[in-house]
Amino acid sequence: MTIPLIGPLTSAKIMRRHPANPVLKPSDVPYGPALVFNAGVTKFQGRYVMVFRCDYGDAEAQTLLPSHTTNLGLAFSDDGIRWDIRPGPCFGLTGGEIIRTYDPRLTVIDGRCYMCFAVDTKHGIRGGIAVTDDFERFEVLSMSVPDNRNMVLFPERIGGRYVRLERPMPVYSRGRDRFDIWVCDSPDLKYWGNAKLLLGVEDLPYANDKIGPGAPPVKTAKGWLTAIHSVDIDPSRGKNGWEPAWKKRYCAGLALLDLEDPSRVVGLYREPLLAPEAPYEAEEGFRTQVIFPGGMVLEDDGEVKIYYGAADTVECVATAHVDDLVKLCLEGGPKG
């Protein structure tokens, strides 16, 4: 099957990369990771909190240690830009089945902070949900069956039920990467069902490989503002980073979901919200041409901070006004 190729991509003009980018680098972290990226970020108890992925190895030699060394770091901030990094990792599951935990997403619900995360196991990739009140103790509430990941929770119950977005990975039935965004709900954050397709790869003109959730949604007057990630692949791409070949490009996208029925897309921006353009996104690091949104904070003045991993190496932030983001989605129109 021939995959249609995607040409050059640019970011939406309303987006502003922060001049302090990257706001978190491996050299900022005292316990020596080679890569820090794909963080979950939220506001909790009056401060910004970031839980970030740490991979270990030798950046100068461009080599990584085995996957089981991956864990999650913790940082706090008063302004969302300058971070106080805690002296050691905060989370990492171990055990006979577990290989590693990674890619956290943070959502505050009813005054408690919930963390979705991915888990590599010996029998597939699972998605987990944990809850914490202090980032020192985490209670794991649920784990999905394989293969599922990129889970994000909505920050409140809708129709009395918890809701999450997720990205199942059906290689067997689809024959290759062709992963989409699904939505499901739960009465208790443990048992999940009522799954529905939300968006397919075919709905985004700038994707040809897979799409998935990004940052947890934020509530606006017009709908749930929802960051997503998209992937396009081009077999002609060569060595773009540390690996012998890296042929994919990751972008951040944006959708607007109905407030009462979040399985209904009421607006969809049909171009990338953020495409890899800055050197720390497109030219440097472990895997170039990568932007992965993991946190979105709506400020009281309407500014939206979108936190994203860049080049699977550093953590960055870009901003826009919420009204401009909603307008992009509504002008793009509903799905289909």
- Phi first, then psi, for residue 112 (nearest 5°) are -120, 150
3-class secondary-structure state, position 131: strand
Per-residue pLDDT of the chain (336 residues; tens, 9 = 90+): 678 899 999 999 999 999 999 999 999 999 999 999 999 999 999 999 999 999 999 999 999 999 999 999 999 999 999 999 999 999 999 888 999 999 999 999 999 999 999 999 999 999 999 999 999 999 999 999 999 999 999 999 999 999 999 999 998 887 788 999 999 999 999 999 999 999 999 999 999 999 999 999 999 999 999 999 999 999 999 999 999 999 999 999 999 999 999 999 999 999 999 999 999 999 999 999 999 999 999 999 999 999 999 999 999 999 999 999 999 999 987 786
Length of the chain: 336
Residues 6 or more apart from 2 whose CB is under 8 A from it? none
Q: Could you read off the pLDDT of 152-196 as tens digits, one per residue? A: 999 999 999 999 999 999 988 877 889 999 999 999 999 999 999
User: Are the C-beta atoms of 192 and 220 separated by less than 8 Å?
Assistant: no
Dump pLDDT digits (tens) for 246-298: 999 999 999 999 999 999 999 999 999 999 999 999 999 999 999 999 999 99
pLDDT mean across residues, the chain: 96
Q: Which residues of 223-234 are buried (b: 16+ CB within 10 A; e: fewer)?
A: bbbbbbbbbbbe
* Contact (Cβ atoms closer than 8 angstroms) between residue 120 and residue 130: no
Pairwise CA distance, residues 274 & 93, whole Å: 32
What are the CA-CA distances from residue 87 to residues 90, 184, 309 (Å)? Answer: 9, 37, 21
In angstroms and rounded to an integer, the radius of gyration of the C-alpha atoms of the chain is 18
